[in-house]
Structures are given as structure tokens and as C-alpha cells.
Amino acid sequence: MTCLYIKNAAAISPLGGNLEEIWQNVLAGEVRFDKVSLPGQRAFFAAESKPCSASDITSYASLFGEAIHTLIADLGIEMPVDAIFFATAVGNLGEVESDIYAEHAVSAKKLDFTQSEMVFRKTPAMGPDTRYICVPTGCVAGLQAIGVAKQVMPKLGFKTAIIMSLDFGLTPLAFEAFYKINATCAFELELDCSPSRPFCMNRSGFLFADGGGAIFVTTEREENAPDPRISGYGCVSSAFHMTDIATDGTSIKVSIERALKDAQLEPSAIDHVNLHASGTQQNDEAEYNALIDIIGETLPTITAFKGNHGHALGGANMIETALTWKILRERVVPPTPMGLSVDAYPAVPPRANPEPFDGSTILKTASGFGGIHAAMIMEG
């Protein structure tokens, strides 16, 4: 069984500019959301990593590249790694749209996600022999990048790698696109809690956000090192529907079963679950049904961080992976995000305060358009 040992983790989200700040805000149950005003008197709910940036596409366009440099610096990377696995859903959409609105020519390269490699070349993480692998598979991209790394690193002799997922997609085009398919919450002037409400009866869609995260991994285990490890991965592409998810949870269940098999574990070994939990009616029901089918009616503790700071598309996976790493390192399960009832299913109760975590195995899930589902097992 091949494992990836996590030496360090980093993140940027609406809850903070680094992982420790985000973690402290999650422990406090903090939530972030605001109003983004766009041309044509259009307004949407959003959660911005840099407040008030999305209303100005020109200033927003540079945040994607800046975030890559910040995450690498926060990982403490000073020497080139063997490989970089970079995941995204919309790439640097802000830069492309900014050029279009300014009536600048847009080349095919700017629409090519793999061109993000050019940003990494300006960091200490990338040397002449560093291999760059781009995984642009939507909202599940971060976990899929982990899965690719887990498969290819030992086969190609890679010992060290950065796995990163990132999206700064709060642009006029993206807002309108998600609004058209009823994925996001409609703007309401008076709101007494976050519009992102995973596992709440009154959930109605996801809160569009931005940000991302990264982990620094190695295939070599240091003796007596307390590094959490990624021991299992599974993925399913069910091609169920362009945007919908089958609510019976069958495909999600298969991805979890494959991850458990890869980690050589039984379902009873799962001590905690960090769910994709987008806050849509379909996604939350599908994940709940998958867990009940695999684990049974009594579920372990569950976290759903999109209730704190929204859904950063492809970047969400790695923010959540970094926070999952913190759960194992700090031995604490964060509380339910402030103001959320979490009353949709009796087996998923709310937590008023942080709780001690004495387990060793965490299941992490992710889902994306087109019926793509992934699951990961992290142990520590």
C-alpha cells in the first residue's frame, strides 16, 4: 500500500489568509459571506478571500497568481520538489474576463489551464527537473490530484511533491452561469445566517467562494514522525447528468468503498467524515445516503466546512484537506458553523463547541458536475 505523508499544509479562504487563521476561525464557528455587486445592477451572495475584490474584475484578476506564491511560501518550500500536481475548475478566469472586458486580444494560452505552470516557474518549488501535472476536473479536482499523485509518484520515482488546488472564479460570467442552473443562493437583503447551509432542512444552494489550499507530501516515512498520511483513494465517474447528482448516493458509495479498499480498511475504521457538503438539496442527500449504506445508522462525527466559508469550486477540496490535516494534528473536531441548525438528518447532529478527537482515520469526500465523485482516507 502506497501512502503520501503530509509534511505541511497551507490554505487561503474567506476565513483567512493562512491555514492557522482559517483554523482558529473554524474552531470559533465563524462564517463569512457578503454581497458582490456587478454591472447591470446585479448582486449576488459570495464569500471573498480578499474582501470587496470581486466587484472590480481588474484588481481581482491578479489574485490567482498571488495565491500560488503565498501557498508555496506558507508550505515553507525553499528547494525544488520532484513534482507539482495542480488542480483547478475554472483556472484564472478573472484574468481572461478582464482582458475581454478591456477589449484586449485573448490567446488560446490564457484559456489553457496548464499554462498555470508559468506561475510556478517563478517560485522556488519548481526547478528544471520538476514535473508539472495539471488536473482541471472541476469541483472534485483537488482530491483527484491527490489520487493521481498517489498513483504515479512511486512509479516515477518522485519522492516529494506539492499538491495544490485553487480557484478565484468570482467573475461576472461565473456568477451568471451558476445562477442560471440554480446552483447558488439568490441574494436576500435580510438574512440571519449564512446562505451556505449544509445538512440543514432549509438549504437551497451553495455560497460561491474563492481560495484554495496545498499540501507538501513525500513518499518516504520518517521514523517516529507524526505526519498524517493519505492511505486510500477512490473515484467514480458515473456520467449521471451534466449538473445533477443521483440522490441515492450509489456512485459516492462506490468511491468511498474504493478508497477503503485502497487503504485496506473496513468501514468501521472511519472515526470522522469531512464531506463535500455543498449545501444543495441533492448533494447532501446523496452523501448522507452513501454514508448510511456503508457505515450504518450511527455515523461518526461530521464536518462540512462550506458552511463556514462557502464553496471555492476546485479550490475547496484542498482547503478542506488542509483543515482535515489540522483535525488530526490538533486532535479537535470543530463545531457547527455559527447560526446553522443542521437539522436535516438525525444521524448528523450539530455541535455547539469544539470536541476532542481521539480517532485516527478520517474519510474525505468530493463531488463535481458530470457525476464525478472522489473519496480519500487520511490517517494519523
- The domain limits of the chain are 4-379
pLDDT in tens, 235-279: 998 766 555 677 788 999 999 999 999 999 999 999 999 999 988
pLDDT band at 232 (very low <50, low <70, confident <90, very high): very high
Alpha-carbon distance 290 to 258, whole Å? Answer: 13
pLDDT in tens, 83-103: 999 999 998 888 888 888 888
Q: What is the pTM of this model?
A: 0.95
* Cβ pair 165, 145 in contact under 8 A: yes
* Cβ pair 25, 17 in contact under 8 A: no
> What string of DSSP letters covers 262-331?
HHT--GGG--EEE----S-HHHHHHHHHHHHHHH-SS--EEE-THHHH-B-GGGHHHHHHHHHHHHHHHT
Q: Does the structure show a pLDDT above 60 at 152?
A: yes
CATH superfamily of 4-379: Thiolase/Chalcone synthase (3.40.47.10)
pLDDT in tens, 107-144: 887 788 889 999 999 999 999 999 999 999 989 999 99
Alpha-carbon distance 327 to 331, whole Å? Answer: 5
What burial class does residue 51 get, using C-beta atoms within 10 Å of its C-beta: 0-12 exposed, 13-18 middle, 19+ buried?
exposed
In Å, what is the CA distance from 310 to each residue of 14, 124, 194, 219, 278?
Answer: 8, 31, 9, 32, 8
Helices 63-75, 93-101: axis angle to 10 degrees equals 160
Alpha-carbon distance 151 to 14, whole Å? Answer: 32
